[in-house]
Structure 1
């Protein structure tokens, strides 16, 4: 790879409660709409306030403030609120927010991991300082898992004995900043007694790759998220491919983004495959394809 291509990373900034700003990657966003009449959904989660009609389809709308633990928007506040239509994890979801501020350019290298003191229940994957304002990047996967817990139910995937033994022989590294995504990935491999290593950011992943190489047990399969603090998945892939002394793993970029642009860029930086979260069978089949190329 000759020179490093840098894809512009953009964040939509918005408010949920008070003046605090939150951020969401624009690659997840389909459209921003003003508040509209919603159709009520019986027996739904308290944060699901109804469905909106978007391009002929019924899209569930979640009061994001309520979903992450803030007071829900009042009827008066909803009148001036906005609905962010997103495309994540193979589904369209609308998020009601108090107000949309602006779109900014963001360098993921400057995104800081959230403090560990926040605990595992914080809906934050990173923090970004923008001209003195600390922007909180929301963990949409965790939010959706809380609203739709059934989405975490693992689906049984059938493997032949040969396929299972093939995967057990590999040195696999998983990297994702979302605790929900890490659990989904881990559960799939644990169910098949396949060993692996897992980390929450690209910087640590690169160090693991280098260390395993030095120890003579190079990583065979690298499964990485795209949007992460520090080294994002694109830059992690580029750094691996640009290091001629490093054994080259089969790289699967695994992302909640459905954007064709993001998946195309994954191939440009050297990823072997790019998959949309979360389909256990697709992931295991991709790993098996990788096994065929690492033999």
Structure 2
């Protein structure tokens, strides 16, 4: 892998309103179904359209347009709508969309970060230009956090005094392009008064690693998301391992996908561990393993 290597990922493109195209990675998708009647879920969030039976389980279905601020689908639109069953953060969630267009193979390195002018509540993680069409890649973590605010709550993790002091002595760098995921990572450490640095993309993370190394305060633990625009977690790990001038950190990659392929490839590019996010206890235990290895 080099800095010019294409990072290809398949994206499902669909419409929520008008002709504007949105996309999500197909690795997050379990199945695409034609719309069918849903069971009502009383007292639920307004964007929750109901529930569907999927492979023996009841799966909540979210009207994706309503969840991001567009009008809800009308009964007429539902006749031609689709339900996308996704696997995100260890749970199956369905999303109703107005129209599925196609699946494309896109170079992840060409995804650009959304402009800051969109604000903190923009539900996109990146923009991709495909033959003049601007595809908006949806931030499913932020969308789910808007519908299920309780998902942002970080459970307290029990650590011994020795474990806490071990982690406090480390230089830790967190990397994630999703604001929700960054908050979860930061909260897990803040509750234990563990200091850290944080960036929102791989390029800034790599520069931070170099700067810290030059300042004689090298990063001990690197925790990075895998699916990021630009320099993704795989390539970040590879670049770190390929830089002989860096004191090598313990690398923990994490992903919102329950994908054995994603986790296996993380090891191939030099990561010490790969986790399916987000579990605060698993994260802290992985950091402790890194501390013991570097110690």
How high is the TM-score relative to the length of structure 1? 0.97
Q: Partner residue of 1:124?
A: 124
Q: Partner residue of 1:98?
A: 98
Report the 3-state secondary structure (helix = DSSP H, G, I; strand = E; otherwise coil) of the residue aligned with 1:284: helix
Q: Deviations over 1:180-216 (max 9, x none)?
A: 1111111111111100000100000000001111111
Instruction: Give 1:254 deviation, angstroms.
Output: 1.4
Aligned counterparts of 1:71 and 1:150: Cα–Cα separation in 2: 24
Q: Deviations over 1:145-183 (max 9, x none)?
A: 000001111201111010000000000000000001111
Instruction: Give 1:27 deviation, angstroms.
Output: 0.8
Report the 3-state secondary structure (helix = DSSP H, G, I; strand = E; otherwise coil) of the residue aligned with 1:106: strand
In terms of mean alpha carbon deviation, does 237-246 or 140-149 score higher?
A: 237-246
Q: Partner residue of 2:204?
A: 204
Aligned counterparts of 1:224 and 1:198: Cα–Cα separation in 2: 10
Q: Partner residue of 1:46?
A: 46
Q: Deviations over 1:107-149 (max 9, x none)?
A: 1211111000111000011101110011001000000000000
Instruction: Give 1:103 deviation, angstroms.
Output: 1.1
Aligned counterparts of 2:226 and 2:211: Cα–Cα separation in 1: 22
Q: Partner residue of 2:286?
A: 286
Structure 1 residues 271-282: aligned runs within 5 Å: 271-282=271-282
Q: Partner residue of 1:136?
A: 136
Q: Partner residue of 1:186?
A: 186
Q: Deviations over 1:204-262 (max 9, x none)?
A: 00000011111111111010011111101111111111112211111111111111111
Q: Structure 1 residues 213, 57: CA separation in 2 closer, same or farther (over 3 Å shift)? A: same
Q: Partner residue of 1:268?
A: 268
Instruction: Give 1:4 deviation, angstroms.
Output: 9.8
Report the 3-state secondary structure (helix = DSSP H, G, I; strand = E; otherwise coil) of the residue aligned with 1:50: strand
Aligned counterparts of 2:143 and 2:220: Cα–Cα separation in 1: 32
Aligned counterparts of 1:122 and 1:129: Cα–Cα separation in 2: 18
Q: Partner residue of 1:234?
A: 234
Aligned counterparts of 2:53 and 2:101: Cα–Cα separation in 1: 24
Aligned counterparts of 1:7 and 1:114: Cα–Cα separation in 2: 19
Count of residues in Structure 1 that have an aligned counterpart in Structure 2: 295
Q: Structure 1 residues 119, 4: CA separation in 2 closer, same or farther (over 3 Å shift)? A: closer
How high is the TM-score relative to the length of structure 2? 0.97
Q: Partner residue of 1:59?
A: 59
Q: Partner residue of 1:195?
A: 195
* Runs of 4 or more consecutive aligned structure 1 residues displaced over 3 Å after TM superposition: 1-8
Aligned counterparts of 1:5 and 1:19: Cα–Cα separation in 2: 32
Aligned counterparts of 1:223 and 1:2: Cα–Cα separation in 2: 21
Q: Partner residue of 2:111?
A: 111
Aligned counterparts of 1:4 and 1:87: Cα–Cα separation in 2: 30
Q: Partner residue of 1:213?
A: 213
Instruction: Give 1:37 deviation, angstroms.
Output: 1.7
Q: Does 1:151 align with 2:151?
A: yes
Contact 2:13–2:103 under 8 Å retained in 1: yes
Report the 3-state secondary structure (helix = DSSP H, G, I; strand = E; otherwise coil) of the residue aligned with 1:126: strand
Q: Structure 1 residues 214, 3: CA separation in 2 closer, same or farther (over 3 Å shift)? A: closer
Instruction: Give 1:5 deviation, angstroms.
Output: 8.1
Contact 1:5–1:269 under 8 Å retained in 2: no
Aligned counterparts of 1:6 and 1:282: Cα–Cα separation in 2: 31
Aligned counterparts of 1:242 and 1:6: Cα–Cα separation in 2: 18
Contact 2:34–2:80 under 8 Å retained in 1: yes
Q: Partner residue of 2:163?
A: 163
